[in-house]
Amino acid sequence: MPTHTPSPAARLDVAGDLLNLLRDTTTEPRPDTQLEALTLAVAADLPVLLWGEPGIGKTAALTQLATALDLPLTTVIASVHEPSDFSGLPIVGDDPAEQGVPMAPPDWAVRLVRAGRGLLFLDELSTAPPAVQAALLRLVLERRIGALRLPPGVRIVAAANPRASAADGWELSPPLANRFVHLRWAHDHEVVVRGLGGTWPHATLPGLDPGKLRDAVDFARRAVCRFLTARPPLVHRLPSSETRRGGPWPSPRSWEMTLHLIAFAAAAGSSRDVLSLLVRGTVGDGPGLELLASLDRMDLPDPEVLLADPAGAELPERGDLRQAVLDAVVAAVRARPEKSRWDAAWALLARAVDTGAPDVVVVPATTLATLRREDWDVPVTIDRLTSAVDLSRRADRAAVAARAGR
């Protein structure tokens, strides 16, 4: 009995069925700090640049993000385009002397404008030569391609490999790098394993609380302005090395982006880890960490309020924040030295010893003691503090001796 041999077309149909089954995946809500940071920056309408080694899943993350946000995805490989593809191609009209020479945009830009919304994915950015990077400046900052302007519903995300792992890679030019929020993309073992099993994390736009919008903006402006007032050299600091210039660094432009991100994070109730990724990805690790430390201190109690009622004072639990509060109290006494304020400061230091580690009072107690006037009696609380301070100092000396003896 002759056997039936499937035709080549039928075999391909079966292969297609198998491929469809392999592509059939689902998503689940799952905490993912870097995905949440990416989604928040996209919601804030800021250009994002994902840095990661080849094969780490940057493109897959963008594809899943576009699907989750219901945005049509347009992928443009920056390295295979000419500068004119982003600046526009000159088209000579009927009367160029009167009408000029318009710059015609590429077809993908026209499709984005017609759709009115979408996710523009600029891939392989670090392999784009300097001339192409220069042409991308206007697209990333002004959303313009030739005479065409991308609609507000279009978001821009790019991806790049570090120069060491990029084929014929280039460092990003400082002007282009300073227009992005830089996010380091790394794989999570559990996410990859679960995703290969058919379930990937689900990206969702942050839930912004309408009642918090104005407070979030006020908080962000106060945070950034207060920090830059105290650290004026950080308003603009171009890194000295070429590699660091191709990453995040502080400038008026990047501080404005930081302000937007803080406002969005505050309105969305985002975690400290998410905000840390975004801030450090905008102005760099050093300035970003300084700003985050400044944010921690924004909600610290007023030293004058503490001095007015030391018995009812509520001190922060975290040691670094408690230290900052006590230092501020001593600074307030130094600014207006009075016997009652000096005594109140000692009462606060005693309360700090009673409710936490004694080491945080060593420096403020030493400084406060130098502020004593000759006619001021020593408060009885100093006796309680002396033993704690001496004990802390002995512990420090023992720790130093132990390290020296290794």
Share of the chain above pLDDT 90, in %: 35
The mean pLDDT value of the chain amounts to: 85
- Number of neighbouring beta carbons within 10 Å of residue 50: 27
Residue the block writes with tokens 């404005």? 256
287 touches 250 (CB < 8 A): yes
Highest mean pLDDT: which range of 9-18, 70-79, 104-113, 250-259: 250-259
Share of the chain above pLDDT 70, in %: 88
Query: What six digits make up the tokens of 401?
Result: 């001796």
CB 296 within 8 A of CB 316: no
Write the DSSP symbol of residue 405. T
Asked which of 298, 318, 350 is the last residue of a domain, the reply is: 298
For residue 212, give both structure tokens: 């918090």
On whether residue 215 sits in a domain, the answer given is: yes
CA distance 393 to 359: 8
Burial per residue of 206-226, b for 16 or more beta-carbon CB atoms within 10 angstroms, e otherwise: bebeeeeeeebbebbeebbee
Pairwise pLDDT comparison (333 vs 200), residue with the higher score: 333
The verdict on 116 and 169 lying in the same domain is yes
- Is residue 318 predicted with pLDDT exceeding 70? yes
76 vs 62: CA distance, rounded Å? 13
Element (H, E) at 252: helix 252-268
Query: Are 339 and 271 in a shared domain?
Result: no
Please give the helix or strand (H or E) that residue 187 lies within, else none.
none
Per-residue model confidence (pLDDT) at position 395: 46
Residues 337-361: pLDDT tens digits?
999 999 999 889 888 888 877 778 8
**Domain shared by 279 and 330, yes or no:** no
DSSP alpha helices (H): ranges in 172-318? 174-177, 189-196, 213-230, 242-245, 252-268, 272-283, 285-298, 303-308
pLDDT band at 220 (very low <50, low <70, confident <90, very high): very high
Residue 16 lies in a domain: no
Q: Is 6 a domain residue?
A: no
Residue where a domain stops, chosen among 269, 298, 327: 298
Tell me the C-alpha distance between 188 and 274, whole Å. 16
192 and 58 fall within a common domain: yes
Asked whether the predicted pLDDT for residue 75 surpasses 70, the reply is yes
Q: pLDDT band at 187, cuts 50/70/90?
A: confident
Q: Does residue 24 lie within any of the structural domains?
A: no
Task: Please check whether residue 80 lies inside any domain of the structure.
Answer: yes
**Contact yes or no for 349/381 (Cβ under 8 A):** yes
Q: Is residue 20 part of a domain?
A: no
Residue 243 placed within a domain: yes
Question: What's the pLDDT score for residue 398?
Answer: 47
| One domain for residues 132 and 73 | yes
> Which two tokens mark 109?
């830009």
Is the same domain home to 54 and 173? yes
SS3 98: helix
Count: domains in the chain: 3
Read off the pLDDT of residues 239-252 as tens digits, 9 standing for 90 and up: 988 888 999 999 99
Residues 75 and 215 grouped into a single domain = no
pLDDT at 403: 58
235 and 286 belong to one structural domain: yes
Tokens of 393: 């100092």
Which strands, in side-by-side order, build the sheet including 153-160?
73-77, 117-123, 153-160, 48-51, 181-184
Does residue 400 share a domain with residue 375? yes
Which residue in 337, 345, 52 sits closest to 186, CA to CA?
52
What pLDDT was estimated at residue 98? 61
Is 324:297 a contact under the CB 8 Å cutoff?
yes
In a domain, 2, yes or no: no
Are 125 and 51 in a shared domain?
yes
Q: Which two three-digit tokens encode residue 218?
A: 């006020």
Mean pLDDT computed over 363-373: 87
Q: Tell me what the mean pLDDT of segment 121-130 comes to.
A: 89
> 92 near 129, Cβ under 8 Å?
no
Cα(401)–Cα(297) distance, rounded to whole angstroms?
Answer: 34
- Distance, C-alpha 135 to centroid of its chain: 26
Tokens of 140: 């990333």
Q: At 46, which CATH number?
A: 3.40.50.300
Name the pLDDT band for 386 (thresholds 50, 70, 90): low
Identity of the highest mean pLDDT range in 1-15, 65-79, 247-261, 370-384? 247-261
The answer on 184 and 75 residing in a single domain is yes
- CB atoms inside a 10 Å sphere around CB 231: 15
Domain boundary among 282, 298, 314: 298
Domain carrying residue 325: 303-404
**Count, residues in the chain:** 406
Lowest-pLDDT choice from 31-35, 175-179, 248-252, 386-390: 386-390
Tell me the per-residue pLDDT of 253-297, one tens digit each, with 9 for 90 and over. 999 999 999 999 999 999 999 999 999 999 999 999 999 988 887
pLDDT tier for residue 127 given thresholds of 50, 70 and 90:
confident
Most confident of 23-27, 140-144, 281-285, 345-349: 281-285
Given a cut of 70, whether residue 367 has pLDDT beyond it is yes
Same domain, 69 and 147: yes
